[in-house]
């Protein structure tokens, strides 16, 4: 499944951190790309640094006009708008998993009415207000059933060896020279 994200309505300064976290979640939970207005150009550097250290080819594309992006994406992608007013994820997850290409729209301030109309699915992660970061994480997890957490990246410089206590991180070169685990 190919998953892209569209972030709309980001407010200057106030939403910088949240938008960065939306992008980090998108990357870590298996999306390919995020589109957003160029409100804070530093987000691109932050995500490029994360890609360089931890791998993946996650992309950020700055756009001028999110409505024209939505229009062009509609040809190939199903549009999934995250909103607390939508259909409960528990009732919609099966059909979402059958889709091939999805563009997920996440808001910041009040989302204009036409987004609700243009979306193929308006999806609520519960019908209570919370956050676009948590809503995106839960949606991506439900759609992929946790498979995104098994991803390994060939282009990673660093890789974490999961441990019950402490921290174990290896450099890619160490990893290439490592004896295979036996047993």
Contact positions vs ligand SAM (CB under 6 A): 82-84, 106-108, 110-111, 124-126, 128-132, 135
- Comparing CB distances to ligand SAM, the nearer of 96 and 125 is 125
- Comparing CB distances to ligand SAM, the nearer of 55 and 107 is 107
Rounded-to-integer distance, Cα 91 and Cα 6, Å: 23
- Comparing CB distances to ligand SAM, the nearer of 140 and 156 is 140
Least CB distance from residue 123 to ligand SAM, whole Å? 6
- Comparing CB distances to ligand SAM, the nearer of 3 and 135 is 135
- The answer to whether the CB of 134 falls within 8 A of the CB of 35 is no
Q: Residue 144 in 3-state DSSP?
A: helix
Rounded-to-integer distance, Cα 3 and Cα 104, Å: 7
Least CB distance from residue 136 to ligand SAM, whole Å? 8
Structure tokens, 150 = 């098994």
How much of the chain is in helix, strand and coil states, percent to nearest 5?
A: 40, 25, 35
Least CB distance from residue 142 to ligand SAM, whole Å? 12
Structure tokens, 37 = 């207005």
């Amino acid at each position: 499944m190919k998953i892209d994200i569209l972030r709309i309505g980001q407010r200057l300064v106030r939403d910088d951190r949240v938008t960065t976290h939306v992008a980090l979640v998108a990357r870590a939970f298996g999306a390919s790309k995020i589109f957003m207005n160029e409100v804070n150009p530093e987000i691109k550097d932050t995500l490029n640094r994360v890609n360089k250290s931890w791998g993946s080819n996650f992309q950020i594309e700055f756009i001028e006009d999110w409505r024209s992006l939505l229009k062009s994406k509609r040809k190939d992608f199903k549009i999934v708008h995250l909103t607390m007013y939508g259909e409960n994820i528990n009732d919609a997850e099966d059909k979402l998993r059958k889709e091939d290409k999805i563009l997920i729209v996440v808001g910041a301030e009040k989302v204009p009415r036409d987004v609700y109309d243009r979306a193929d699915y308006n999806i609520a992660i519960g019908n209570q207000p919370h956050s676009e970061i948590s809503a995106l994480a839960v949606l991506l997890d439900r759609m992929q059933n946790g498979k995104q957490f098994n991803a390994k990246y060939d282009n990673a410089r660093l890789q974490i060896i999961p441990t019950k206590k402490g921290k174990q991180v290896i450099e890619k070169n160490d990893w290439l020279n490592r004896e295979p685990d036996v047993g």
